[in-house]
């Protein structure tokens, strides 16, 4: 993930509390060997889904649920602080 060059803390947090089976462990190791990339949130959600025996589309639903809760929290924060949260991103394109 571009925001996490040293590894995605969200994926690491999920992987630290679930048992990763041999298949996922091998996949994680092969992906790292091929790309140098550490597991991200997508891998963590897939591992969680597999660990809990959830339906195959659960990672998408879990991600959407978490994102929605985050948006709600940002809304509450903006309302209570009286200021708008500014994104980290910066436009790098041509100004028209």
pLDDT above 80: residue 67: yes
Predicted local confidence at residue 29, as pLDDT: 95
DSSP string over 41-69:
HHHHHHHHHHHHT--TTHHHHHHHHHHHH
User: What mean pLDDT is reported for the chain?
Assistant: 91
With a pLDDT cut of 70, the percent of the chain lying above it is 97
Per-residue pLDDT at 87 exceeds 90: no
CB-count exposure of residue 58 (10 Å: 0-12, 13-18, 19+): middle
Residues in contact with 46: Cβ distance below 8 Å, sequence separation at least 6, in sequence order: 24, 59
Note if the pTM is more than 0.85.
no
């Amino acid at each position: 993930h571009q925001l996490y060059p040293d590894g995605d803390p969200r994926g690491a947090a999920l992987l630290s509390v679930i048992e990763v089976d041999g298949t996922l462990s091998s996949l994680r190791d092969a992906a790292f060997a091929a790309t140098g990339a550490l597991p991200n949130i997508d891998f963590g959600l897939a591992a969680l889904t597999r660990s809990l025996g959830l339906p195959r589309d659960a990672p998408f639903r879990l991600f959407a649920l978490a994102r929605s809760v985050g948006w709600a929290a940002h809304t509450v924060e903006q309302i209570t602080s009286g200021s708008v949260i500014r994104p980290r991103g910066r436009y790098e394109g041509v100004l028209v």
